[in-house]
Amino acid sequence: MSAARDEILARTRAAIRDAATPSRVARAYRTEGALDPGARVELLRERLVDYRARVEHTTERALQSVVDEIARGGRFGVPPGLPERWRPSDAIEDNGLSAHELDDLDGVVTGCTVAIAETGTLVLAGGTREGRRALTLIPDVHICIVHAAQVVETVPEAFAALCGHERRPLTFISGPSATSDIELKRVEGVHGPRTLVAVILGGE
């Protein structure tokens, strides 16, 4: 398999070696939003609620009490780089928890890299505050803390913010995990957390 792949790639490289540089593709879609920061946050809230996510607004000072209220004393995992003040009481740090250990958690608390208001999407790029993908896919509840300054309006703005993260696994989250069967009956929690709580952080 590896030899066949290498041969195909070698032939492809040889075929395009002398090819002309492709011209720049004209893009007519919007690349920048026009909303002010407050309106961006409100649009993100509306979209997330449409997707059946819970949205909370809080300040840095009140954050830990808000997270504790949502966690309700449950067993919540956190990535190693999550700030102490963002963690619920008795948080369990993920330093390589097994799939069974992750499944035994009640939920997870992470940050995000960027949030897209127009689509109601939270993007995780595997950073120190977000952890590995398994941590956010296996537990049933995901509490995601979003700085108001991380909220952009459009998808192109989000990809611009993600420059430099191309080699990391990107996870795009638009509401709780949901799928539909052939009868279009919605089922949540099949491919990820059944419950998504976005905590939007702004101010002191």
The string of pLDDT tens digits covering residues 14-68 is 888 888 888 888 888 888 999 999 999 999 999 999 999 999 999 999 999 999 9
The string of pLDDT tens digits covering residues 61-82 is 999 999 999 999 999 999 999 9
Q: What is the CATH number of the domain that holds 138?
A: 3.40.50.10420
pTM for this entry: 0.85
Is the residue at 158 inside a domain?
yes
- Rounded CA gap, 85 and 200, in Å? 15
| Collapsed DSSP state (helix, strand, coil) of residue 15 | helix
154 pLDDT exceeds 90?
yes
Burial 118-147 (b: 16+ CB within 10 A, else e): bbbbbbbbbeebbbeeebbbbbbbbbbbbe
pLDDT > 80? residue 174:
yes
**What domain range is 176 assigned to?**
33-201
Answer whether residue 126 is part of any domain: yes
Q: What domain count does the chain have?
A: 1
Residue 9 lies in a domain: no
pLDDT interval class at 159 (50, 70, 90): very high
Contact by Cβ (8 Å): 59, 201: yes
